[in-house]
Every structure is written in structure tokens, then in C-alpha cells.
Structure 1
Amino acid sequence: MTADGTGRPPARRELHLPNGTTAQGDYALDIGPDVLDWPHGALRVLELAAGGVHELDTGESEWIVLPLTGGCTVRVAEQTFHLLGRDSVFASVSDFAYLPRDARAQIASGAGGRFALAGAKCGRRLPARYGPAPEVPVEVRGSGQTARRVRNFASAEGFACDRLIAVEVITPGGNWSSYPPHKHDEDRPGLESELCEIYYFEIEGGGFGYQRVFPSREGGADVLAEVRSGDAVLVPDGWHGPSVAQPGHDMYYLNVMAGPGAEREWRICFHPDHTATAGGYR
């Protein structure tokens, strides 16, 4: 049942999706073309009880299985990947598994857990692979009150996918991230790439945060949302940022991006009114 009690999934323009809004079956969150008319990227949060098993047909999309809490075993074709996972998204980087399109996969967890499935429609069928946690590039972006840690597990430069781009961000309590506001809703070769984006949030200790999206064109996306653990915000277009963490409560978000461009690249344009005082994006 959805938040409005109708049982129908929310319309595409309902860009803030509170926890449980798109829940169905084993998925606490299900965002993708079959649910929200979301054209490119996809995100599911799979919840498995101890001993739970989930079957997945990848279809026309490539997927990354990323543990949020707990570990799991991923089987695809003749390969088996044992993901150690982690206690929570705030504890550490996690290992992960890449699943190709047109495949049948099984995800099983002896102790149970929660697992993000980040996906994107793609053309090429790349090989299934294991992503070790020690090989995930981690960087600090910004400084002072805009500092945050970015885990580039499937960034455009960090891991080979056909269309999917995905990273994790940890914002310390009281800080702003996704700042200065930026956009990637136009195809401008060498300057900006067209990418739809999903933000999935978890807040340490049951706190809250805020997410802002504002129009870059007439009639564009416009969101100011109080976000809590399990919430998602869709960014079909527009300037997005800041993401604001409540003091005393670190904020986690998982970004999933994909677009129609010929190249898989992350090129962004910063809002001109904010860049001079941003404290450094990278």
C-alpha cells in the first residue's frame, strides 16, 4: 500500500518518495521503468530475512549488488561471489558484484540483510565481476562545512559498466554536501552530460536531513524535502544541492545515474551563484 492509501505507485512528478512508498514483495524500494516511468537508471532495496533467497532476471539492464547491511552470496551463470558486506552503510566501504544484462541471478543471505540493486538499461553485455572493497576509490570533497567522503565504487572512472554510474556519499552531521548546486540535464559535449539521478538516503541514529532540487528550465524539477532513512529523491533535471545533514547525525546517500548519451561520462555544470563560496567541490 502506498502512502496515499491507493495501492498505486506514485506519479513520475512525485519526486520525493518517502520510505515504503514503492515497496513491493522483497523490495523495500523499487524505482525503475516498470514502476515510475523512470527512463534510465533503476534502484531497488532488497530485504532478506536470515536464510532468504531472491531470484533476479536482469533483463535489459546491468546491475550492481551492493550490501547496505549484512553479507550475501550472489550466483550468476557459472560464477559465485561471496560478498562480506558490512554492519551498516556508516561502518565501511563494501564489496559488491556486477551482473550483466540478459542473465538469471540468485542472491542469498545466511544471516539476512539489506542490499541495494543499482541498475541501468544498457546495450553491451559485459562479464559478471566481483568488486573488492579495498579497491574502491574513496575521496574527500569540499572543505570545512562542505566536506564529505565519496566512495566511487562505480564511478565513470572507477569501475567499468556500460551505462550505470553509482557512488556513495557520507556527509558528517551539520555539513552540506552535493554542493555547490550543480546539474547534468543537457548534452553539451565536453561540458555537461545528460543524466537522470536517484538519491537514496539513510540517516545515522534516526535523524533527518534536507534535499533541494530547483529548476534549471521553466517547469523543471522543484523539491525541498525533509528526508529520513529509506527515503529517495528523483532528479530528472534541474539544479540539485545542497544535501543537508542534521547536526549530530551523519547522512548517507547512494547516487544512481544513467542517461541517453553515447558515452558513459559524468560531466556537470555548477550554479554560477554558488561556486565562489562553495569551499571546493572536489
Structure 2
Amino acid sequence: MTTNEQFHLPAGSTGRGSYETIIDPGAREGWVHTGLRVLALAPGDSEVVTANGVEAMIVPLNGGCEVSVGGETHALRGREDVFASATDVLYVPVGSQLTIASAGGGRFALATAVATGNHPVALIRAEDVPVEIRGGGTMTRKVRNFGTVGVFDQMDSLIACEVITPGGNWSSYPAHKHDETIDDGEHRESELEEIYYYEIQPAPGGTPGFGFHQTTASDDDKPIDVLTEVRSGDAVLVPHGWHGPCAAAPGHDMYYLNVMAGPEAERAWNITDHPEQTWVRGTWETAGIDPRLEGETR
């Protein structure tokens, strides 16, 4: 049986140099397709990055930056923090060499996936990011779909989005999986690895917040059993299995950045609900939208 420690990576545990988090595809056993780096820059600092074998999206977590790539410089306006708003995002293709510079300092996520195709650099402005309200009642959450299928498709395999779950609510619920290829005419599922990168809103007095993440086995031959407390800067790897629910402690809004990719030629996100939990989808309309998130779609 696998343990929490194999897949729950606490804040700072994988960092090195200017990077608070380093998760690279192929750098750990059984982890093949996806990656995430969180770069922390002091005011006036810069970092040169080479996207060897991967395509990437640069996602400001707090602060803004300028990214120079292919002879052009793109200004990402950033944000105060992940709870404040969506952000400008930049896509760069496989093999790019880029310089990330920040006059005011900040923290910047580099979501990556193994790729071979050459696509153009693309700047996605915050006001153009579709915002979806998903769920109902205490299962309501907000999804910023800057890099999902059908929203931005000019890339090989990377799928990325960010989710805000208000304090006390449940997210990634019903639990679901995408760990095998199914296409039987009635149901489709896509094989995808997934990274959850968490930030949790602190208490008014500044004490840290927390939440919970669960992943369980979908196949007796692929055991996994993760139920862990998550805090800001933590990452959880989902190589397979039912993942969710994720629960935000009351009083502490939860953010997670999802990074997905897999071996299939088609870039797709098709899931299977946990059969014991799929019924909750039928309760959302009656429960209504959590009033904290009303009016947030675009």
C-alpha cells in the first residue's frame, strides 16, 4: 500500500535555489508526464528557464512579471494573491528559453507537460479567462479555466486550471478518476496524471489555514491511499485513483492549481465519477450557488 509521504509533498520539501517547489516529469519513479515549479523572485530579480522537452504555462501566484521569449517581452500583470482574481497567463512551447523578471518581486508557477509539437507563444489576459461556478450548496467552487480543453487548445498535452473553494466547502466532489483510456460508445475516460498545488487563506490574525485531500485506489492492482492535511505551498501527486473530496476548513478559503497531462495522442479531459458519490450532482440545482460566489461567472 502506498503512503501519504510518497504523494504529499509539503511546502519547501522539493525546493532548491529560487524554486520553492520542483516537480519535474521523469524525475521520480512512476511520474512521467507533468511538472510544476514555483519560482520566488525578490524585487528586481530574474531567472532564466529552459523548457527542455516540455511546454509550459507561467501563472503568477502573487506579483507581476515580464517574460522574455523568442525575442519578445510579455508583461504579466499578476495579482495580489491567488484569492484576489484571475491572472494573466503565458503559454510557451517546448524547447523555449525564457527569462522571467519581476520589478516588484513575486511568486510564479510554471505548469509543464511533456510535449513535442511546436505551438506559438500565447498571452492570455485575466479578463479573457472563463470563470465557471461548479457544484451547489457546500459543494460550490469557482474554476478559472485558463488552460482547459475547449478554452485554450494551442498546445500538445498540458491541461491546467485553478480552483477556489470557499472555507467550509467541499471540492473535487464527487471523487473522480482519469487513469485509464475508455471509449466504449457510452462513456469516455482519458488517462491523465494530475498535480494539485495548494494555497490556503490564513486566519484574520495571520495563523495558517489548512484543508484536506484524499486519493484512493480505483483498481486493486494499483493501490493508493492518501488522506492528508494540506497547507499553503503543499503539492499532492495523483498518478491514478479516485481523487477527492478536497475539503477547505471553515474560515479558510482553499486554492489549488491543477496540472494534468497523459500519454494519449488526443488532449482530452474525460472523467469517471466514483459510483458511490456521483448522486451528489443531482443535489446541486436544489442547493443553489453558495452566495459567496454568486455573480462570479464570465
1:243 pairs with one of 238, 243, 246: 246
Query: Kindly tell me: are residues 13 and 124 of structure 1, through their superposed partners in 2, closer, same or farther at Cα, counting changes over 3 Å?
Result: farther
2:23 pairs with one of 8, 22, 31: 31
Give the secondary-structure state (helix, strand or coil) at the position aligned to 1:233: strand
Whether the aligned pair in 1 keeps the contact of 2:4 and 2:225 (CA below 8 Å) is no
1:99 pairs with one of 71, 88, 92: 92
Whether the aligned pair in 1 keeps the contact of 2:4 and 2:227 (CA below 8 Å) is no
1:212 pairs with one of 200, 211, 214: 214
* Structure 1 residues without counterparts, runs of 5 or longer: 1-10
Determine the C-alpha separation between the residues in 1 that align with 2:133 and 2:175: 17
Whether the aligned pair in 2 keeps the contact of 1:50 and 1:109 (CA below 8 Å) is yes
TM-score under structure 2 length normalisation? 0.88
Query: Kindly tell me: are residues 280 and 186 of structure 1, through their superposed partners in 2, closer, same or farther at Cα, counting changes over 3 Å?
Result: farther
For the pair 1:276 / 2:279, whether they are aligned, the reply is: yes
Aligned to 1:5: none
Whether the aligned pair in 2 keeps the contact of 1:221 and 1:236 (CA below 8 Å) is no
Determine the C-alpha separation between the residues in 2 that align with 1:13 and 1:40: 20
Select the structure with the greater relative contact order (CA < 8 A; seq sep ≥ 6): 2
Aligned to 1:81: 74
Whether the aligned pair in 1 keeps the contact of 2:60 and 2:88 (CA below 8 Å) is yes
Whether the aligned pair in 1 keeps the contact of 2:26 and 2:32 (CA below 8 Å) is no
Matches within 5 A, 1:95-244: 95-160=88-153, 161-189=155-183, 191-205=188-202, 206-218=208-220, 219-244=222-247
Query: Kindly tell me: are residues 207 and 185 of structure 1, through their superposed partners in 2, closer, same or farther at Cα, counting changes over 3 Å?
Result: same
Determine the C-alpha separation between the residues in 2 that align with 1:252 and 1:170: 5
For residue 251 of structure 1, what is the amino acid of its counterpart?
M
Structure 1 residue 79: Cα displacement: 1.6
Deviates further, 66-75 or 217-226: 217-226
Give the secondary-structure state (helix, strand or coil) at the position aligned to 2:182: coil
Structure 1 residue 13: Cα displacement: 7.1
Query: Kindly tell me: are residues 182 and 197 of structure 1, through their superposed partners in 2, closer, same or farther at Cα, counting changes over 3 Å?
Result: same
Aligned to 1:50: 43
Determine the C-alpha separation between the residues in 2 that align with 1:268 and 1:247: 28
TM-score under structure 1 length normalisation? 0.93
Structure 1 residue 156: Cα displacement: 1.1
Query: Kindly tell me: are residues 22 and 12 of structure 1, through their superposed partners in 2, closer, same or farther at Cα, counting changes over 3 Å?
Result: farther
For residue 124 of structure 2, what is the amino acid of its counterpart?
G
2:12 pairs with one of 5, 20, 27: 20
% identity of equivalent residues: 52
CA displacement, residues 6-36 of structure 1 (integer Å, 9 cap, x when unaligned): xxxxx99710011111011111000112532
Determine the C-alpha separation between the residues in 2 that align with 1:90 and 1:84: 15
Structure 1 residue 220: Cα displacement: 2.4
Determine the C-alpha separation between the residues in 2 that align with 1:33 and 1:150: 25
Query: Kindly tell me: are residues 34 and 196 of structure 1, through their superposed partners in 2, closer, same or farther at Cα, counting changes over 3 Å?
Result: closer
RMSD: 1.7
Whether the aligned pair in 1 keeps the contact of 2:26 and 2:33 (CA below 8 Å) is no
Give the secondary-structure state (helix, strand or coil) at the position aligned to 2:266: coil
Give the secondary-structure state (helix, strand or coil) at the position aligned to 2:247: strand
